[in-house]
Amino acid sequence: MSVLILYGTTEGHTRSVAEALARSLRLSDDRVHVIDAAAGDPDPSTYGAVIVAASVHAGGYQAAVQRWVRRHSTELAARPTAFVSVCVPRPPESGGMTSLF
């Protein structure tokens, strides 16, 4: 099955996550494309499945990812999808980074 991994990143961590996912998926299928939402507008209807990855900054995901998902919501609803959220873990004994916002 062909897979699109559409990601958004601010400091580059989510790009690394997306590329690691792609390396794992390519072990079973070569048709895996990794595309930055800020640099392209891939058509999800040409893929069998879609993974969207984005990171949290000040409580929100990258605007380019949000726009892409809204633009292609009909095509996304018609195929298997997954969402990967990259953020700072919140230790139970502290407020973690989320307490800053």
Ligand X SMILES: Cc1cc2nc3c(=O)[nH]c(=O)nc-3n(C[C@H](O)[C@H](O)[C@H](O)COP(=O)(O)O)c2cc1C
Out of 55, 69, 72, 76, the only residue in the binding site for ligand X (CB under 6 A) is 55
Out of 4, 37, 51, 86, the only residue in the binding site for ligand X (CB under 6 A) is 86
- Give the nearer residue to ligand X in terms of CB position, either 55 or 69: 55
Parallel, antiparallel, or unpaired for β 3-7 and 32-36? parallel
Give the footprint of ligand X on residues 15-54 (CB under 6 A): none
**How many Cβ atoms are within 10 Å of 56's Cβ, its own excluded?**
17
- Give the nearer residue to ligand X in terms of CB position, either 39 or 77: 39
C-alpha angle with apex 35: 16 to 64, nearest 5 degrees? 95
Shortest distance (Å) from residue 79 CB to ligand X: 24
- How far is residue 54's CA from residue 13's CA, in Å, rounded to a whole number? 9
Q: Write phi, then psi, for 71 (nearest 5 degrees).
A: -60, -35
Out of 28, 39, 43, 58, the only residue in the binding site for ligand X (CB under 6 A) is 58
Q: Which of 59, 58, 56, 57 is nearest to 83 (CA)?
A: 56
Out of 38, 49, 56, 84, the only residue in the binding site for ligand X (CB under 6 A) is 56
- Give the nearer residue to ligand X in terms of CB position, either 57 or 67: 57
